Amino acid sequence: MLRNLLCTLMLVAAPLAMAQDQSPKRFGDIIVYFSPFNSSYVAPQVAANVGLERAPDKGVLNIAVQRETPDGAVPVDARVTGTVKTLIEQETPLNFIRVKEEDALYFVANYGAPTRSILRFEIDIQPEEGGAVHTLNFQKEFFPDE
């Protein structure tokens, strides 16, 4: 059942990411997919099962890390940390939740903004313990639900 709920989450997030030109980022053989979106797009049951908060002023950042191999892309159980900042430098840490299902692995975190604002994200991805840390930087205009 969790798999169906997470598939729904990804189906909602994928078109949103494409519409906002958030193409995957490559770091050598590592591919990082990322999608920030309003928490209202997540069904209440999915949010409760995963541990996400749904609220008008909350968003969700979904990260998936994969490694390109000769047999295709495979999920990577990376260490994912990060922060989100407002334009006036108010910084908040992102607390990622690891979500594992059959062949998929995601990292999701809530973020908040009480008013319409541009948010700057800085995400550190460490594919293997002791390995290189790759940093993903992007910004997103957040529109709280009304």
pLDDT(5) > 90: no
- Per cent of the chain over pLDDT 70 is 85
Distances (CA, A) of 123 to 37, 64, 107: 16, 12, 11
pTM for the whole structure: 0.83
Residue 114's pLDDT is 83
- pLDDT average, residue stretch 129-137: 94
In the chain, what are the domains? 2-142 (2.60.40.3340)
